[in-house]
Amino acid sequence: MPKKATVVVGAVAVAGTLGVMWVMRKRIVKAMILGKVASEKKQAGLVDKSVILPGGEECQYLERAVAFPKRTLVLLHGFSQTAEELSALLLEMKVPGDVRVVLPYAVGHGKAELARAWRLHAAGEPFPYPESYEVMAERVFEMTEALGFPQGFDVVGYSMGGNMAFWLKHAHPAAVGRTVLAAPAVPGCIADAFHASILAGDAAHGWETKAELEAFMAKIGPPGMPPFPSLVLDALMAIRAEDAPPGYFRGFFPTFLDPANRSHLSLCGGRSVVDPAALLAGAGGLTSDPDPTSARLVVWGANDAICDHGKGARFFQRSVCTEFVTVPGCGHVVFMDPSKNFLVEAVAPRAAKFLYGP
């Protein structure tokens, strides 16, 4: 074989090997991410379960069962998260052994609902998205009734889950005990810029491309946070592509808006087909806490670009039984150091003390 041809063949072989190594590296990082969550779930003693609600709907959840529970705790995850992702929070809270712990999957989340979404996608049919946070919260309550929860169960919720926890307590004050709201996505507390971006069709929160994911990651941390490693982003992209059909999570956008805007929003290919400026005039929903005597802990990152800290402080300023904690240098989920997690570092120890004492 001529020398030049040998060099070309060698270069192709090396390139092919590097390509395989690159693909393997992405797979390894993906396996590490999923493996960490699975390990935390096992360590927390969580088991997959489901219950059929009165209307015939199946609700999936995780549970740490206790033979004779003295108290019950519900943990509610954020948008596009899985219930398993709150395993680390549960572990760090060091919840007493006599507390029954249940982690429901929100409407449209969890293996059964995502499998249903794939079937509807293949058939060219739309997914029946929930029309509001309130509807999502009500399904959680139906689940607690189906599972025979005693009155006074406590709830900890993050972001979307924080808003559901807020509505659960508001709608069922006797059933729900204490609540912990971590950066709750209460409509009146959504950051103006983030609200406007949804109305304008910004797809970052329902990311499907690497550029959208990079934009979203920049929003969940404080300004100046170092970018996430490219391999991590690639692994997250691979997980998202397997989890849900194209455009699936973007379909939730109208659910996140307050009623004044929700009824006017129409999405076409992920973009709003109405004038965002006209809708922003009615943005915000609630502007103050309707339950000022509710016993709760609110934990908020000072640099949250999704759920506005300033709006949150004003929203709860007249809430006489609310402990409002500001976390400096923290965004919606991470600190300046991306390895530090808001839920584990800031929420868990405070929630444990608030619910279970020193």
Selected residue with higher pLDDT from 190 and 101? 101
- 284, 258 Cβ separation under 8 angstroms: yes
Q: What is the DSSP letter of 301?
A: E
Residues present in the chain in total: 358
- Residue 275 per-residue DSSP state: -
* Secondary element (H or E) of residue 155: strand 153-158
For residue range 144-185, list pLDDT tens digits in order: 999 999 999 999 999 999 999 999 999 999 999 999 999 999
| Predicted TM-score (pTM) of this structure | 0.86
Q: Which residue has the higher pLDDT, 57 or 47?
A: 47
pLDDT in tens, 233-261: 898 899 888 999 998 988 887 766 655 44
329 pLDDT exceeds 80?
Answer: yes
CB 154 within 8 A of CB 72: yes
What is the pLDDT at residue 277?
Answer: 39
- Helices 230-243 + 3-43 axis angle, to 10: 70
| Predicted confidence (pLDDT) at residue 83 exceeds the cutoff of 50 | yes
Give residue-wise pLDDT tens across range 195-228.
777 777 666 778 888 888 888 888 888 888 888 8
pLDDT at 4 over 80: no
Whole-number Å distance between alpha carbons of 123 and 48: 28
**Residues 35, 263: Cα–Cα separation, whole Å:** 41
Q: How far apart are CA 177 and CA 297, in angstroms?
A: 12
Q: Say what the pLDDT of residue 12 is.
A: 38
CA–CA separation, 353 and 259 (whole Å): 35
